[in-house]
Amino acid sequence: MRLDEFFVTGDPLIYGADVSIALTLIGAIFALTYFKKWKWLWSEWLTTVDHKKLGIMYIIAAVLMLFRGGVDAMLMRAQLTVPDAGFLDAKHYNEIFTTHGTIMIIFMAMPFLIGLINVVVPLQIGARDVAYPFLNAVSFWTFFMGAMLFNISFVIGGSPSAGWTSYVPLAGLELSPGVGQNYYLLGLQIAGIGTLLTGINFLVTILKMRVPSMKLMQMPIFTWSSLITMVIIIFAFPVLTVALALMTFDRLFGSHFFTMMDGGMPMLWANLFWIWGHPEVYIVILPAFGMFSEIISTFARKTIFGYKAMVYSMVIIAGLSFLVWVHHFFTMGAGGAVNSFFSITTMLIAVPTGVKIFNWLFTLYKGRIRFTTAMLWALAFIPNFVIGGVTGVMLAMAAADYQYHNTYFLVAHFHYVLISGTVYACFAGLYFWYPKMFNHRLNERLGKWSFWIFVAGFNLCFFPMYFLGLAGMPRRVYTYGVADGWMSMNVLATFGGLLMGIGFLILVYNIYYSFRYSPRETTGDPWDARTLEWSTPAPVPHYNFAHLPEAKGHDAFWIMKEEIKQGKKPEKKPYKPIHMPSYSGVPVVMSVFFFIAGFGMVFSWNWMSILGLIGVLATMVIRSFDYDKGFYVSVEEIEEHEKTT
Amino acid sequence: MEAVEHSPNTPLEYQTETGRLNILGFWIFLGAEIALFSTLFATYLVLVGRTADGPGPAELFEISGVLIETFLLLTSSFTCGLAIHYMRNHSLKGVFVWIGITLALGLGFLGFEIYEFVHYIHEGAALTTSAYWSAFFVLVGTHGAHVTLGIGWIILILIQLKQRGLTPDTSRKVFISSLYWHFLDVVWIFIFTAVYLYGMVM
Amino acid sequence: MKSMLALSMFFAVMVLSGCSNLTVLDPKGPVAEQQANLILFSIGFMLFIVVVVFVLFTLILVKYRERKSGPEYEPPHIEGNVFLEIVWTVIPIIILVVLAIPTVQTIFALEEAPEATSHKDPIVIHATSVDWKWVFSYPEENIETVNYLHIPEDHPILFKLASADSMGSFWIPSLGGQEYTMSGMMNELFLQADVPGEYRGRNANFTGEGFTEQTFTVTAESEEDYEEWVEEAQDAPELTQEKYNELMMKGHVEEMTFSETHLQWVDHGMDAEYATKVRNGEPTDDESSEMDHSEMNHDDDDKESEEHSH
């Protein structure tokens, strides 16, 4: 392979990216060396198994990916603003929408939510860590390396360009030669390992690591939503694993699962992809529902309305999520009976979702509503998600879907549910739990600016797209003609997109600003909140709880505070040593080997993939022989911590 | 993790918190494995008959080799169960003997399977021949890869048993690997039925 | 909240001014009309739901905001209300049933030729997508066109959809919804134009670099004009296999007209491999490829010959 085939050449945008990546790397290396932070980086972060730190790293990575995916979005909007624009050509546009979709779903939405789950869930259930702290680190690092592998594609070798759904035969070797599609397959595969491990880890954590007094029906809604999400992950992700592996075999080893030649069946890919893909949608929306429940309940100063209905509706949604995948291709010609069945199952999802919407509304009813930034995000979710939801029902009506399918109507719909659902939740959760993570709040004034600009921009960007769809504009076109008459709506959309970008930048600035100027927290409960994570002091000690708290209901901390108000004295119990797991460098090293193996496979450099796989196996062997049992936090150290806080 | 109180009858592997958590986690992992193999089976069944220019399964499958493989693997599942029985009786020697036999049977299974694959490839049925054979090799091959990994893993556990004897940690590892081994046995029964028996009557 | 209101006003104006070009809601044939009716029917219900939620939402936020109730107000402890929860479970179910019935009816109705013209034999047109063009074959008329279509008005058309390579989606928004074209698969789609005119058709499913320009025009005209066009087209140069194989190469081409159709060499609905073989320079109609499709081909040949005998 020649060097100019290895590096992507010929585009000023890419050269710009090359330079900025190089500068960032050099800058980071310089800063770490200059401030003598290498050891700190290794021993505090790279080797950590602490769920709070891993959660923070997930969120940082997700924000970076949000930036990358957002830049992709901006480039697309720039190209589509006016008819016959020449800013991007078809090839680049295709690469950009492919990476935008893949990054936003796999490398932004999921890790952002999993990051918040990492930080919050163990605290909410009164646990000192997750069930398998070591595996948790493996989860993070495989996700991170998978994401990196996917992301370097645009400077080394070329990006995938067959859409995030990678439909075959287009994504097959015949029609997409080159390494781009391989990056997609390997990047997702490696990140998928981490997701599956997270699923198992948190399922066991929530089932087995709760404080003994917390019954299942006393778990906070966010914990419930996480539990259900983990079950979906465990059954959905293996399907993706297989689908990706089969396409990898097709492309690298000449098998015929999805090819046009020798009996391959392209439709099989679409089915497998969406059997994973639809549950995936609920993987990124259920935790969002959980967060909104916590936030709305906290800032309305009321317990959640219809707790049981909230739980059952999520269970029903999870079950239905496996029964609706065909609605992604009603137009495949499966016949009336099949389309009718999947139309109806899809519509049914609206029922439990509607129940949740009304339960949120009635949680607010008779409450005392404080409009903090976190609450604003949660509130804006309701009307926006309803718009996304009702248009979802419209799309579920197969006969009508023949007209919406593959158009901007669909694009508008899934951005309405994914942005107002998942992204709003990420922002809401970030503002809400920020003091738990960093011991200071994000600035409220900047937060509100960023909120209003982003939400206005979002509606301005995506609402017109419903009409573009009805006007016949298909998704994934890189340009259109004057005669199509789509310009005015596209101008609006681009303007809206710009506002969203500004809103995001204000958020990022707010992180810096608050780091510098926000007062540090003195209590662990800045919002007068209701669940156990707020009973921990500020900053949260690495062992989370000096004494395991007691749960007497799903608003366990609220109940504690009520009891204290009524004069109950907290009893002083003596501290006992606390057992904690040791940090380990194995997860990060193992994941680096995964990266090497993946990179080798992308380019079909067998020596490199074999080297990488041997490395992976070797790290597993090392782990197998590792009988480290962790350590005990001494009573003195606990006393020291509890005194200062 | 902390050792919590347990009755004297509690098996070694269940005596620690870590033991209980890991065993539960592994059961859940097997749930994910079921989803994985189900997908492979579904793929296989969808692609049955899509043999393009290549031979069909009925022409190539030979019942005798497959029956030997089945016999070896089923027996190994039984001997693996005996190993756990001896582990419960705190007989390190029994564990070594029966796991040793299990591994030997597993290796025998692998040997016959590799021979079978080579034979098919000689007869003109390889991964690249047709959709059908792609599905066959990947489904049966994934199972075979699991068996291979399992053998390597169990060897590592034997070394640790040799080093440390029967402790809550090592017996946990033995127990979990036995779950894995039985699971592969169950998957094989499905492969035997859905691939070989069905393929021969097709 | 005010900015939200201003925004929605703004949208309303935009929508009203832009309505004329909402192709999907401006149907030119019975299929598109059934779909437009279903869409409008559902929009009604959806607006109702949106209004209910928005009104409740606004009222609750205004009434129970802290600035109004004051920091002393302590909200009551309400765990839920079974009656209310049943209400907002049952009402959505009723709405969904009301939506599902016409949906299912329309799904099945669209599988048949439009009722009003069911006495006429549909015209069969094979529409084949090839990266990045559209090939239309009229087997009964024995003509083939590229990137354009002529159809008579008030006459059901049965499109037989297939692809030579990547999966496309055949879509003429003015006449009705889309359906996929796939290699080795045959889909059927009935469409009909009630109003003469020029309509845009295109591939709606992403097929790579040339996807955006993978379009065609549809001319719907009176039966007489259509007959005239057919006769003219039958005088066009004959389609040779060599010429057809050139069309299999990736790329865009101008509109073309041929007499004879490619169906004599290949039916992409049965043979998924043709285009790939042509591109790789492999033989396409050798004995072996005949044989390996012989099983599947049998019923198709029967069907095909039936059609010819009509």
Report whether pLDDT(B5) > 70: no
pLDDT (tens digit per residue) in B91-100: 999 999 999 9
The answer to whether the beta carbons of residues B80 and B87 sit under 8 Å apart is no
User: How far off is chain C from B52, nearest CA to CA, in Å?
Assistant: 6
pLDDT (tens digit per residue) in A243-263: 999 999 999 999 999 999 999
pLDDT (tens digit per residue) in B115-173: 999 999 999 999 999 999 999 999 999 999 999 999 999 999 999 999 999 999 999 99
Report how far residue A177's alpha carbon sits from residue A51's, in angstroms, rounded to the nearest whole number.
Answer: 41
Contact C288 B53 (CB under 8 A): yes
Contacts of A237 in chain B (CB under 8 A): 32, 35
Contact B52 A627 (CB under 8 A): no
Identity of the residue numbered A548: L
Report how far residue C208's alpha carbon sits from residue C201's, in angstroms, rounded to the nearest whole number.
Answer: 18
C8 band by pLDDT with thresholds 50, 70 and 90 = low
Report how far residue A384's alpha carbon sits from residue C38's, in angstroms, rounded to the nearest whole number.
Answer: 24
Q: What is the rounded radius of gyration, in angstroms, for the C-alpha atoms of chain B?
A: 19
Kindly give the parts of chain A with pLDDT less than 50.
none
B13 band by pLDDT with thresholds 50, 70 and 90 = confident
Contact C7 A267 (CB under 8 A): no
Pairs across A and C, CB distance < 8 A? 285
Which of A94, A168, A348 faces C96 most closely, judged by CB atoms? A348
Identity of the residue numbered B176: I
The CA-based dihedral angle spanning residues C286, C289, C295, C296, taken in that order and rounded to the nearest 10 degrees: -110
Which pLDDT score, from 0 to 100, does residue A28 have?
86
Which pLDDT score, from 0 to 100, does residue B70 have?
97
Which pLDDT score, from 0 to 100, does residue C287 have?
38
Which pLDDT score, from 0 to 100, does residue C289 have?
42
Starting at the edge strand found earlier in the chain, the sheet holding C176-181 runs C148-152, C215-221, C197-203, C168-172, C176-181
Q: Mean pLDDT, to the nearest integer, of B196-202?
A: 87
Could you tell me which chain C residue has the CA closest to the CA of A261?
C273
The pair of structure tokens assigned to A614 is: 């041997």
> How big is the CA angle at A499 (ends A493 and A503), to the nearest 5 degrees?
140
The pair of structure tokens assigned to C223 is: 């039966």
Q: Residue A235: which region, alpha, beta or left (left: phi > 0; alpha: psi -120 to 50)?
A: alpha
Q: What is each CA distance from A137 to A191, A361, A561, A586, in whole angstroms? A: 13, 38, 35, 9
Report whether pLDDT(C298) > 60: no
Which pLDDT score, from 0 to 100, does residue A13 have?
75
The answer for residues whose C-beta is within 8 angstroms of residue A414's C-beta and 6 or more apart is A388
The answer to whether the beta carbons of residues A513 and A446 sit under 8 Å apart is yes
Pairs across B and C, CB distance < 8 A? 3
Identity of the residue numbered A187: G
Q: What is each CA distance from B77 to A299, A546, B68, in whole angstroms? A: 57, 46, 14
Contact B135 A200 (CB under 8 A): no
Which of A260, A405, A478 faces C212 most closely, judged by CB atoms? A478
Kindly report whether the peptide bond that precedes residue A474 is cis, defined as omega within 30 degrees of 0: no
Which pLDDT score, from 0 to 100, does residue A8 have?
79
Report how far residue A183's alpha carbon sits from residue A601's, in angstroms, rounded to the nearest whole number.
Answer: 9
pLDDT (tens digit per residue) in A266-293: 999 999 999 999 999 999 999 999 999 9
Which pLDDT score, from 0 to 100, does residue C11 have?
58
Report how far residue C147's alpha carbon sits from residue A106's, in angstroms, rounded to the nearest whole number.
Answer: 38
CB-CB neighbours of A41 under 10 Å: 12
Q: What is the residue-averaged pLDDT of chain B?
A: 93
Could you tell me which chain C residue has the CA closest to the CA of B54?
C292
pLDDT (tens digit per residue) in C107-131: 999 999 998 888 999 999 999 999 9
- Of residues A153, A170, A182, A163, the one with CA closest to residue A251: A182
The kind and range of the H/E element at B66 are: helix B63-88
Which three-class secondary structure string do you get for B118-144? HHHHHCCCCCCCCHHHHHHHHHHHHHH
Report how far residue C216's alpha carbon sits from residue B196's, in angstroms, rounded to the nearest whole number.
Answer: 50
The pair of structure tokens assigned to A222 is: 């966010």
**What is the Cα A371 distance to its own chain's centre?**
25
Which pLDDT score, from 0 to 100, does residue B4 have?
52
Contacts of C103 in chain A (CB under 8 A): 340, 343, 397-400
Which candidate in A355, A369, A453, A558 is best for mutational testing of the C interface (most C CBs within 10 A)? A369
The answer to whether the beta carbons of residues C297 and C271 sit under 8 Å apart is no
Answer whether C179 touches A (CB < 8 Å).
yes
The answer to whether the beta carbons of residues A200 and B32 sit under 8 Å apart is yes
**What is the Cα A125 distance to its own chain's centre?**
22
Report how far residue C263's alpha carbon sits from residue C144's, in angstroms, rounded to the nearest whole number.
Answer: 10
CB-CB neighbours of A583 under 10 Å: 22
Report how far residue A171's alpha carbon sits from residue A259's, in angstroms, rounded to the nearest whole number.
Answer: 10
Which pLDDT score, from 0 to 100, does residue C91 have?
95
Q: Domains in chain B, ordered, with CATH?
A: 90-202 (1.20.120.80)
Which candidate in C287, C291, C292, C294 is best for mutational testing of the B interface (most B CBs within 10 A)? C292
Which DSSP symbol is given to A218? G
- Of residues A601, A610, A465, A630, the one with CA closest to residue A543: A630
**What is the Cα A341 distance to its own chain's centre?**
30
Answer whether A207 touches B (CB < 8 Å).
yes
Contacts of A387 in chain C (CB under 8 A): 50
Which of C75, C92, C173 faces A302 most closely, judged by CB atoms? C75
The kind and range of the H/E element at C41 are: helix C30-64
The pair of structure tokens assigned to A11 is: 């585009």
Contact A459 C7 (CB under 8 A): yes
Q: Mean pLDDT, to the nearest integer, of C135-156?
A: 96
Q: Which ranges constitute the DSSP H helices of A418-443? A: 424-438
User: How far off is chain B from C292, nearest CA to CA, in Å?
Assistant: 6
C121-289 classified as CATH 3.40.50.2000: no
Lowest mean pLDDT among C13-27, C202-216, C256-270: C13-27
Contact C46 A390 (CB under 8 A): yes
3-class DSSP assignment, residue A247? helix
The answer to whether the beta carbons of residues A259 and A268 sit under 8 Å apart is no
Q: What percent of chain A has pLDDT over 70?
A: 99
Residue labelled with tokens 């624009």: A85
3-class DSSP assignment, residue C128? strand
Which candidate in C8, C47, C54, C85 is best for mutational testing of the A interface (most A CBs within 10 A)? C85
Which pLDDT score, from 0 to 100, does residue B11 have?
87
Does the ipTM surpass 0.90? Answer: yes
Which pLDDT score, from 0 to 100, does residue B9 have?
78
